[in-house]
Amino acid sequence: MLRQHDNDHLVLLGNHVAEAFGVSDFRLWCWTHVHDRWILRLPHPSGRCRTWNSPTNVTRLPALLDVGATDEAIRAALADDMDPH
């Protein structure tokens, strides 16, 4: 399913979406490069997901979603979290 999309960056919200794209094994909060695309898997933004209650997770989100950032800047900012998958 990934090859059917023209976007260079995909943000997938929730486990069901990740499963639909065949990337449920990718780490959360981590940009992963696959099939010439960057994919970010995040928890579902529902009120039932407690992950979003953490101030740390909320404050790191803007940096992860900086669409103006180059691939090199994303890699540098998230070097510890990158998964070369």
pLDDT digit string (tens) for the chain, length 85 residues: 455 556 688 899 999 999 999 998 998 888 888 888 889 999 988 878 888 888 887 777 877 787 555 666 655 655 544 444 4
Amino acid at 3: R
Q: Is residue 20 part of a domain?
A: yes
State the pTM of this model.
Answer: 0.66
Looking at the domain assignment, is residue 84 inside a domain?
Answer: no
Taking the CA atoms of residue 37, residue 50, residue 20 and residue 71 in that order, the dihedral angle to the nearest 10 degrees is 0
Classify residue 33: in a domain, yes or no: yes
**Amino acid 66: pLDDT:** 75
Domain span including residue 19:
2-77
Residue 12 in contact with residue 40, Cβ under 8 Å? Answer: yes
Q: What is the pLDDT of residue 59?
A: 79
